[in-house]
Amino acid sequence: MSVPEPALPLPAVLQDQPIERVQRDGVEYVVLGTAHVSRTSMEAVQALLEHERFDAVAVELCESRAQGMRDPDAFKRMDLFQVIRQGKAGMVAASLVLSTFQKRLAEQSGIQPGAEMKAAMDGAEARGLPLWLVDREVGTTLKRAWHSVGFWQRFGLLGGLLASVFEREEIEAGEIEKLKQGDMLESAFSEFASESQPLYQSLIGERDAYMAARLREDAARTATDTPRRVLVVIGAGHLRGMCQALRDGHNDPAATVAALAQTPPKARWPKWLAVGLVLAVFAAIAFAFHRNAALGTQALTAWVLFTGGFAALGAVAAGAHPLSILAAFIAAPIKPFRPGIPAGGISAMAEAWVRRPRVADFDTLRDDIVHWSGWWKNRVARTLLNFFLVSLGTIVGEYSAGIHILRSLV
């Protein structure tokens, strides 16, 4: 059910802004669709807070993104050892890549992406209003988007992300205008989101339903007198879908939030394929020893040299310290007997221990990674690069060793 606009005339800055008014469960939601790269949107948020009275403010942010806005230098205090041990190196790298995309937008447009969200947060704090963070965690969204597409499409996503980092040409004015009307995550994957319904659903559709459910959840927990009025600040790309979900959603909001907040389980076939390969290789090595000790020794040596050699080669390609290269060479062959941290993680932790990142590395990290050479110059970036290249080398080494050993027995 739509609610009429207030009797007082809107300020000039709000005249052409997309504003929807939705009433649900006795709560009036004033939903402002904003552009993530626009000074006008920031001013519109401030004007709306001045013009109308609200009992709470909701923003299209998750806890981690909100924390990043409150404390932009928080990433400088991250513990690389814990990041690697907890298997979060991929998410940290993806977040850094997305931040470089936003940095390019900020430099070219003169507006920091998300300035309107920061204005809403500051406005709520200044007025003593509850702040609701209603968006899904960005890590969960990226994981669900990753799992929503096929194996080969993932290479395209990775290529698109890397291209956004190293692109030197300025973003065309028309593209910036599109970004102003869309969603930041959708913009980063725009080419693929427009062609893939599952990807679009993960980045936009699911979040529309999630945010609508979170609004209903937070409203139910807020003990204010009815009717309550909530200012909702979201990207214009979510305005229509989220308002529709807010009007028509009949499912239990808690159940909707729980379902959409789940991280999809990892596909089992890659793991079983890897286990099957290792079992086949060690069965071949055992058979070689059964035939004669010399042949078995040759097969076992091939396993060590191929897996350790390719892993060490990955560390060399990453410009790792000699101790990190040695760690990769030792860790890769014994990977089947040492479940837990992969060889890339062990080598990366050795690199972080031997060449501890300096404060300057964190200070210049986002600037360094926009250049190819920066990944080798910056100690934080090089540690992450070491993790990925050693992990890739280990996989290549396992398959190469298996092929070599099986061929030697034929």
Model pLDDT for residues 273-307, shown as the tens digit of each residue: 777 877 888 888 888 888 888 888 999 999 999 99
Q: With CA atoms as reference, report the closest residue to 32 among 300, 233, 183.
A: 233
Q: Are strands 27-34 and 19-24 parallel, antiparallel or unpaired?
A: antiparallel
Give whole-number Cα distances, 280 to 274, 289, 297, 307, in Å: 10, 14, 17, 15
Task: Name the helix (H) or strand (E) containing 305.
Answer: helix 293-317
Task: Name the helix (H) or strand (E) containing 391.
Answer: helix 379-409
The C-alpha atoms of residue 320 and residue 325 are separated, in whole angstroms, by 6
Q: With CA atoms as reference, report the closest residue to 324 among 303, 304, 357, 354.
A: 354
Residue scoring higher pLDDT (372 or 122): 122
Q: For residues 169, 170, 173 and 177, what is the CA-based torsion angle, rounded to 10 degrees?
A: 100
3-state secondary structure of 31: strand
Name, in order, each residue with C-beta under 8 angstroms of 2's C-beta and a sequence gap of 6 or more. 20, 21, 22, 23
Model pLDDT for residues 4-39, shown as the tens digit of each residue: 444 467 777 787 888 899 999 889 999 998 877 778
The C-alpha atoms of residue 382 and residue 319 are separated, in whole angstroms, by 7
- As a whole number, mean pLDDT of residues 152-174 equals 59
Q: What is the pLDDT of residue 234?
A: 92
Q: For residues 116, 121, 123 and 129, what is the CA-based torsion angle, rounded to 10 degrees?
A: 140
The C-alpha atoms of residue 120 and residue 41 are separated, in whole angstroms, by 11
